[in-house]
Structure 1
Amino acid sequence: MWEVAVRFVTLITESEFWFALGFTVSNALIGLLLAIIVGIPLGMVLGTSPALNRSTQFLVDLGRAFPVIALLPVMVLILGATAQMEIVVVFLGVVWPILLQTIDGAKRVEPVIADTVSAYRIPLRLRFIKVTLPNAAPFAVTGIRIASSASILIALGVEVLSVTPGIGGEISRAQTDGAPALALSYVIYAGIVGFLVNKVLWSVEGKLLAWNRQSVEAAA
């Protein structure tokens, strides 16, 4: 434990650590951002169109059940052990929780509200902005929070298996070099990164969706 503690402290003075940290976090966040850009609009479309949702249900179920790590050898062959490959694998792994949560939120409109909107013939654009989007937002944010933790895990897994530069690659190299203290230090830092990302998203969610929490508390 003492060796791990010493290596944990001295690691922050090394440039290799900061490069590995930046590589892993940036690739994970880029993959997450691409998943948000694709998942939320697509989820809104599928959630508001029952016919389109039914016709794509099999593909969505197949995609979310497919283990993304199984694609890693193919991605390495196509793109190589590069940052682009890691971003693509992260994107393919985290787009599904965002997509599914957004679909669920877009579909869960209260029957009274849906009947009122239909009875008063509210225009489609106004219905989307005032009804569908606020209803889907809490679900989409939950999907983003789930995907954020998964993005770090997938990035680390890709780096460990493909020895791509990053925290995972450093863990793999430390294992090969027989340096358990270094490997455990990187593992601890990886856990800290995941914890901080989750806390930041919790804070952002609390500020952006304060109206939703207040309404839930009032209803309770």
Structure 2
Amino acid sequence: MSMSVEPQSWARRKLVAAARVSAGALGPALPPALFLTDPGRLADPARVAAGLPAGFGMVYRHFGAADRVAVASQLARICRRRGVALLIAADPALAMRVNADGVHWPFRLRQEARQWQGRFALQTVSAHSGREARAAAALPVDAVLLSAVFASNSPSAGAAIGAVRFRDLVHRLGMPVYALGGVTADNAGWIAQSAGFAAVEGMRAFEKAGA
């Protein structure tokens, strides 16, 4: 996927450079990098979405928010305008309503991917260990988000896998994987030759004021 490059900070340049490498690992059908929303850690996802380079992707995790339809609709408009793939977490009905590109499933809901096979361009699933990643690889999904690769601020993150073990797991898994958990401009390049990457706070480099 092509990625537009706007005037960037050092962190943006590092992330875009890592994404170009990840694109070679994942192939043209998948975004090389994903921005994950988290209302507890980043209040306005539209400001980040508005600065994402074309070819990137984002996962909207609404956690049942009352304004989820309005927010998803806003994000869908931004993503279409910027050429960013939009996935809605655990909510295929909302994904269809806003014409999103796909659905991201938490591991506990992984079997739902079978029901929605062929209905979306993309389906991804979370995994938090090698065992879960292998289980996810047996599903009709396009990629696995494996965490936590690096030390993370997420309250749900476990012990960090580390870049070396992560690369080994990706090699043995034999399917597209995104590194999640503690990914930043400083370390995204450590895993880019074998996988894509996903982040919450690590994508703040693309945040636009007043979006």
TM-score range normalised by the length of the shorter chain: under 0.3
Whose helix fraction is larger, Structure 1's or Structure 2's? 1
* TM-score, normalization by structure 1: 0.25
**Higher radius of gyration, 1 or 2:** 1
- Return the structure number with greater relative CO, CA threshold 8 A, min gap 6: 1
